[in-house]
Amino acid sequence: MDESSNAEGSRARIILTSLEGHDYTYKVCFEFPITNNITGYKVFLGGLGIIKALNAYPFYIHIDFN
């Protein structure tokens, strides 16, 4: 997860990597002011939703707040 936030809104990237090494990137945008903490929480939940929808088990999570 890579995210940033400012007065105009917030955006984040979710990158899922398969066991074969393929990356799947998803972009999440909030078009209203939101804090980095809330953005990170919402994106984390969104990533879990994607994992569930893809039935991508088992999975490991790495969060990068830089």
Q: Per residue in 19-50, pLDDT tens?
A: 888 898 988 888 777 777 787 888 888 889 98
Residues in a beta bridge with 11:
4, 29
Residue 64 in any domain: the answer is: no
In a domain, 60, yes or no: no
Q: What is the pLDDT of residues 1-22, one digit of tens each?
A: 445 555 566 778 888 888 888 8
Q: Please name every residue paired with 30 in a beta bridge, in sequence order, or none if there are none.
A: 10
Instruction: Classify residue 43 by burial, with Cβ atoms within 10 Å: 0-12, 13-18, 19+.
Output: buried
Q: 22: which 2 tokens?
A: 């393929």
Q: How many domains does the chain have?
A: 1
- Is residue 36 a part of any domain in this protein? yes
Whether this model's pTM surpasses 0.75:
no
Q: Judge whether residue 66 has pLDDT over 80.
A: no
Structure tokens at 62: 């790495």
pLDDT for 1 = 47
Q: Where are the beta strands (DSSP E) in 1-66?
A: 2-6, 9-17, 23-30
Region 42-66: what's the mean pLDDT?
83
